[in-house]
Amino acid sequence: MTRQSDVEVRHHGSLYLVVPHTQAARDWVDDHIPDDAQWWAGGFAVEPRYLDDILVGMDDAGLRVAA
């Protein structure tokens, strides 16, 4: 049985889309991502320079991230 990821990261050219799939991931996003983040297709857009810090925070919280 494959464990579902909590978060999916999709590369879209100059931006990444971070899509929370579980309630734990949505709670983390609510607590750590600004309210004015740009959402599209179920995820929020992130510039590459910020992605590593976000992923480290998610990993530290025990979330499973798939790329």
User: CB pairs under 8 A, 24+ apart, for 19-26?
Assistant: 19/43, 22/63, 24/61, 24/62, 24/63, 25/58, 25/63
For every one of its 67 residues, what pLDDT tens digit does the chain have, with 9 covering 90 and above?
345 899 999 999 999 999 999 999 999 999 999 999 999 999 999 999 999 999 999 999 999 999 8
Contact 8, 21 (CB under 8 A): yes
Q: Are 48 and 36 in contact (CB under 8 A)?
A: no
